[in-house]
Every structure is written in structure tokens, then in C-alpha cells.
Amino acid sequence: MPPTVILVRHAQARHNAEKNFTIPDPDLTEEGHEQCADLRKSLMENPLAQKAGAIIVSPLRRTIQTALRSLDWLIETGVMIEADADWQENSVQPCDTGSTIDKLTQEFPNVDFSKLDPVFPDKTSPAASKYHFTKTAILNRAQSALKNLYARPEQVVIVVSHSAFLRQGVSGYWYFNADYRIFNFAPSNSIEDGFRLEQHQSTREAGGGLGRSWIDPVVLGSELPVEDPDKESDTECNGIGRGY
């Protein structure tokens, strides 16, 4: 039986606060650290989160920092944090491009980077086509991420990822900073149907576990570019389309 999945958006990072998407792999802000405290309290009190047997993170600093600050109570029981490049953010802006694996390994020794795609943090070369900023690549990457989740043995898995990828690629719902939603895998008649998630009523009707996110669903892929957008375009520079 596939696990229940708790999808978490990272807490506020510098690029969110400053609306500056040229900041490389930004850290959480002071407000982001405060948001982690609220997230931590909510997850600690959630019966499903208490059963989590694995934590998967996008290998960017803000998602790792969010996991370490809000899920320390699980980590202390032996639950591992695994970095997975499938869960990184969509765009190729500096804020959405990770640091080198060597740097991350030194900075976050308690995170397991052993299975991280060695092409990371590349998102633009032919070798990194899986991570290109196109509708086809992002939707395919989301299916890869869900396929891997579906096969996991744990009863509950927590994933810390990003707004645009979670909204446009994975679930079709909005996520405020440090908010989360709970899902089960939808029944499927065949592999060709793909992997779909069905949200628990509690987080769907409340607008997330903390009630901070918009309730209205969106169509998967509806905001994603068919081709790689011009890096100097207005869409790229103002954050629209990269999921601010």
C-alpha cells in the first residue's frame, strides 16, 4: 500500500521577502525561522505526521533548513532526511538553482545526499534535460517523484519542496510559506493513467494544515512554459511563472 504523503512548502527565504530572484540558493529569513516554529507545532500535533518514517527534501538550502527546524523531533527518533533533486523548484533563476553537492554535504552533514542525482545543480545542459524549465520536463519530473514515493515502504512520508513545483507539477493546489497539505495516492486502473494525489478533506477545506494557503485548485501545468523561456523576459524577472 502506498504511503500517505505530507507535502510541505519551505518557510520564507530571502528571495521571497526581497522579491529578488537573483539571490543564489537563499537562506531562510528571520520570519521564515518563526514560520518553522508554527509548522513544527502543527506537525507535532498531527497524528499522521507523528507516523512519518521518512523525510524527503529538495536539495536547496531553504528546504533543508525548513526540514531541520520543523522536523527535528522526528529526526531525533532516527527518521532520515533524504535529498532528492526531483523535488527542486521549477525555474533556472539563481534562487531556484542549488549549491554544489560538496558544499551542501559539508554544510548539512545530517542530510543523506548519497542518492542525489550527480547532475545536480545543473538545470540547463542537455545532460540535465530532466530538470529543464519546460512544461513537459516538469510534469515528467513530478511523475518520477510520485512514482518513487508510491513505491516507498513507509506508512507516511513528509516531503519539503517548493510552491511552483508542488502547485504546477504535483498536486494542483497553492502553498503559502511553511504550509502543508496531506494526500493519499488516487486509485489507478493502469500505469498509463499516471500517478495522482487526492487531498485529505482537512487540509483541502482549510487551505492547508496551517490554513494559510488559497483553497482554489489549479490545473497542473497551466502556468508552465512549453519551451525554455528567455532568461531576460519579464516573466522570468518578476517571478510570475516561477511560483513566487
> Which active-site residues does the annotation give?
10, 162
Amino acid found at 65: Q
Kindly state the DSSP code that residue 165 receives in the 8-state scheme: I
Cα–Cα dist 188/49, whole Å: 25
| 208-235 b/e (C-beta count within 10 Å ≥ 16 → b) | bbbebbeeeeeebeebbbeeebeeeeee
Torsion of CA 209, 222, 165, 15, to 10 degrees: -90
160 contacts 213 by C-beta, under 8 angstroms: no
| Residues in contact with 233: Cβ distance below 8 Å, sequence separation at least 6, in sequence order | none
Query: Could you tell me where the DSSP H helices lie in the chain?
Result: 14-18, 30-44, 61-70, 72-75, 101-107, 135-150, 163-164, 201-206, 234-238
Question: CA–CA distance from 113 to each of 34, 55, 117, 137 (Å)?
Answer: 27, 13, 9, 23
Q: Are strands 52-57 and 156-161 parallel, antiparallel or unpaired?
A: parallel
Cell numbers placing 17:
521577502
